[in-house]
Structure 1
Amino acid sequence: MTHRILILGGTTEARQLAGKLAARADCSVTLSLAGRTGNPIAQGVPVRSGGFGGADGLAAYLREAGTGLLIDATHPYAARISANAAQAARATGVPILALRRPGWEAAQGDRWLEIDGVAGAARALGDVPRRVFLALGRQEVAVFEAAPQHHYLIRSVDPVEPKLVVPDADYLLARGPFGETDERVLLEKHRIDVVVSKNSGGAATYGKIAAARGLGIEVMMVRRPVLPDVPSAETVEALAGMVRHLVEPEAERGV
């Protein structure tokens, strides 16, 4: 029996999980991407790009495709997509699993100010001009137009269009992973005195956090949103094990 699996992706772990599951003869895997990145990394499995039209649209897709398992492996801040996935799974009766990457934890020497929401970070920068590294991608930086007194360094995979309506901003196109040494050079070169970051977790973008610690630079850490309570794992290996228990008969597992 072939199990049709839909993975809601956009993360490195989603790509890794898709490859691991696609290697199984009893799994047919489709990876769904939101389509926000103009030149995504090759995924190695069939890819569906673009939204579904909310929870109802996703539920309709699950029924039409005969999906037997839904996996939410989206970014930790994709709260709306995760909510839609949980709702669609309930509506259709399709089992759902989630891959939840652990967040970073403050270490000795870190100067973190934890903030609720990106708009909250824009307000927390204060009135006095500062040199700010926005390590948020391009989707949410527009709110910083409300604080035009600061100098901004904005890094993203795709160009920020339109550019921010602020008098002083530099734009850097780059795709991670980013190592600590290179991040330290970047922070020093641009004389950054505050980093605004999401608590994405993982190793690929932790370099800026470690570099900020070493330089004594403040980090405004945007707290993670509350996500639906569904069965989950923190690693690709652990989630692949959960999938194995779902798709393999007990006899094949030696139970």
Structure 2
Amino acid sequence: MPSSSNNFRVLVLGGTTEASALCRYLEQEPSISATLSLAGATKQPHLPTLSVRIGGFGGSDGLCAWLKTHGIKAIIDATHPFAATMSQHAATACATTQAPLLRLERSGWQEMPSDKWFHAANLTKAANLLANAPTWKTAPQRIFLTTGRKELAPFKIAPQHRYLIRSIDAPDPASLPPNATILLDRGPFDVQSEAKLMQDYDITLLVSKNSGGSATYPKLEAARLLHIPVLMVDRPVACSNIPIVETAQQAMAWLQAHQVASTRRKV
């Protein structure tokens, strides 16, 4: 969709349900010309009627150049909570171009009293725990591994376990740990189906990133129901100087406020 030169131009770094919700608001706001940027990790993403670009920018320098070329006035970083590299590139590029940046990020999941969570700072440390910690080293587990199809290779160092891996698209066979079963499916999921899946595969441990949101939360509810422990990969540390909102409505209000400020500067 072509952008009017008079419109307030915005870049949305997407790939999340929050980004999709924001795009639905932007589709109804003709005074804002928005472009949605997707990394291309999903083969058949659901696309809005907005302008869409797919693929990387070439680091923070490439993103900075793209922002300048397209006259971008504001950026919404609505990437996945674990897309730390892209978020850092956005922060660096916006610091260079002086374009305002907002982080749209859903809150993380919280451990409930009846949960049994183990924590790891990142995927590598999670895999090391599975490979070396006394809890799991000598006691092979049947693991429901839900960390995403591109982040499976670290778990090859723990071949004593059996893995059930679910993803939207098929993972690279070379990245798979031994004894892996692949399920291709797309959420959202409900508690009953998640509990049945874990029972059918006799799951003894759930491994998950703390992505937050409602789409995949039922797996944690099912684990709680079945008294299955969870190895939770904590979120990377966010840039402390970037404002954060949790909803698309809040992000839209932020954009509109910057749009008004930009218009006033032109007068």
Counterpart residue number, 2:100: 95
Give the partner amino acid of 2:42: T
Secondary structure (helix, strand or coil) at the match of 1:205 reads coil
Can you give the 5+ residue segments of structure 2 that lack an aligned partner in the other structure? 1-5, 131-135
Counterpart residue number, 2:47: 42
Q: Pairwise mapping of residues 33-182 of structure 1 onto structure 2 (< 5 A)?
A: 33-125=38-130, 126-127=136-137, 128-164=139-175, 166-182=177-193
Q: Is the 1:19–1:45 Cα contact (8 Å) retained in structure 2?
A: no
Secondary structure (helix, strand or coil) at the match of 1:137 reads coil
- Residues 11 and 166 (structure 1), Cα distance of their counterparts in 2 relative to 1, 3 Å cut: closer
Q: Is the 2:78–2:105 Cα contact (8 Å) retained in structure 1?
A: yes
Counterpart residue number, 1:185: 196
2:230 to 199, 206, 219: 219
Task: Please give the root-mean-square deviation of Cα atoms over the aligned residues, in Å.
Answer: 1.6
- Residues 46 and 165 (structure 1), Cα distance of their counterparts in 2 relative to 1, 3 Å cut: closer
Counterpart residue number, 1:240: 252
Q: Does 1:3 align with 2:3?
A: no
Matches of 2:117 and 2:148 in 1, distance apart?
20
Task: Give deviations 1:91-147, integer Å, cap 9, x for gaps.
Answer: 111111110210011112111111111111112123221100101110111111111
- Residues 3 and 215 (structure 1), Cα distance of their counterparts in 2 relative to 1, 3 Å cut: same
Q: Is the 1:196–1:220 Cα contact (8 Å) retained in structure 2?
A: yes
Q: Is the 2:152–2:177 Cα contact (8 Å) retained in structure 1?
A: no
- Residues 250 and 118 (structure 1), Cα distance of their counterparts in 2 relative to 1, 3 Å cut: closer
Matches of 1:237 and 1:69 in 2, distance apart?
16
Secondary structure (helix, strand or coil) at the match of 1:248 reads helix
Q: Is the 2:60–2:93 Cα contact (8 Å) retained in structure 1?
A: yes
TM-score normalized by the length of structure 1: 0.95
TM-score normalized by the length of structure 2: 0.91
Matches of 2:142 and 2:45 in 1, distance apart?
30
- Residues 185 and 93 (structure 1), Cα distance of their counterparts in 2 relative to 1, 3 Å cut: same
Matches of 2:231 and 2:99 in 1, distance apart?
38
Give the partner amino acid of 2:32: C
Secondary structure (helix, strand or coil) at the match of 2:109 reads coil
Give the partner amino acid of 2:18: E
Identity %: 45
Ranges of 4+ aligned residues in structure 1 off by more than 6 Å: none
The CA deviation at 1:43 is 2.5
Task: Give deviations 1:59-118, integer Å, cap 9, x for gaps.
Answer: 000000111111100000001100000000011111111102100111121111111111
Q: Which deviates more, 154-163 or 211-220?
A: 154-163
2:214 to 203, 224, 228: 203
Q: Alignment length, in residue pairs?
A: 252
Give the partner amino acid of 1:22: E
